Amino acid sequence: MGNFKELKVWLHSKDLAVNIYKLTEEGAFIKDYGLKDQIRRASISVPSNIAEGDNLDTDKQGIRHFYIARGSVAELRTQLLIGKEIGYLTENQYSSLETDCEQISAMLTSLIKYRSK
C-alpha cells in the first residue's frame, strides 16, 4: 500500500483522464459546459480515488475508495454514451474510450478482490 503510481490501474485511469481533458477541449464539448464539466469530474475521480484508497491505513478503507472509483467509471461510461448519441463523439472515439473504461473497471474489480483477502 502507499505507492499508487506503481498500480497499473492508476496509470491507465490517469491516462484516460488526460485523454478526456484533451478531447473535451475541442469540437462540440467546447460550448457544452455542463457535460464537459461532468465528464471531466468523473474521469478525474477515478485515479484520484485509487490514489487516496491506496494511501489509507487499512485495506478496508482503501477498498471503499476503489468501489467509488469503479462507480465513477460507470458514471463516465454513461456520459460517454450520451456524448456519442448526441454527436459529440465519433463511433471510433467512443469505442476506444469504452474499451479503456471496461479495462479499468475490470482492473478495479481484481484489485478489490485482492485487497479483500
Three cell numbers, residue 70: 469503479
What is the number of other CB atoms lying within 10 angstroms of the CB of residue 44?
A: 19
pLDDT digit of tens for each residue in the chain (117 aa)? 668 999 999 999 999 999 999 999 999 999 999 999 999 999 999 999 999 999 997 899 999 999 999 999 999 999 999 999 999 999 999 999 999 999 999 999 999 999 998
Length of the chain in residues, anyone?
117
Tracing cell 469505442 back to the chain, one arrives at: 95
The model's pTM: 0.95
Q: What's the rounded Cα separation, in Å, for the pair 46 and 87?
A: 25
Domains of the chain: 4-116 (1.20.1440.60)
**pLDDT for 1:** 61
| DSSP state letter for 9 | H
